[in-house]
Amino acid sequence: MKLDWTTILCLVYNALIAALGAQVAIHSECWWIFPISGLLMLRPKLQYTHYQICDSCGAEGPKALSRPEALSAAELAGWKRVPVTRDGKRIWHDYCPECQMLTSSKEEE
């Protein structure tokens, strides 16, 4: 998993809030501060990036915040999904527009 700067900053922020909350709770003998700092730690959430990978060349498709958005963005960008059956199971192969042109030019020859 690749971490971008905003994710790293959120994790550093979480660690800081937890450490400060623990220090204040210990030194001021206010036990209720520690659970509040724990609740503040839960606030930022990690966001994962979804994208298609070409099964021919390994190129990455358009990025999106959810899998359905990534599939629709790839379809709009000209990517092609082909169902393939192997050992009785249906799997999908994704092809970028460049690989589609290469395979179509090979088929014409």
Domain map (residue ranges) of the chain: 5-41, 67-108
Residue 75 is predicted with a pLDDT of 92
Are 80 and 95 in contact by the 8 Å Cβ rule? The answer is: yes
| pLDDT score recorded for residue 41 | 64
DSSP element (H, E) containing 26: helix 5-28
pLDDT at 37: 67
Is the pTM for the entire model greater than 0.75?
A: no
Q: What is the pLDDT of residue 77?
A: 92
Question: Taking a C-beta distance cutoff of 8 angstroms, is the pair 47, 5 a contact?
Answer: no
Residues 94 and 61: beta-carbon distance below 8 Å: yes
Q: What is the mean pLDDT of each run of 10 residues along the chain (109 residues)?
A: 71 79 77 70 67 90 89 92 88 89 59
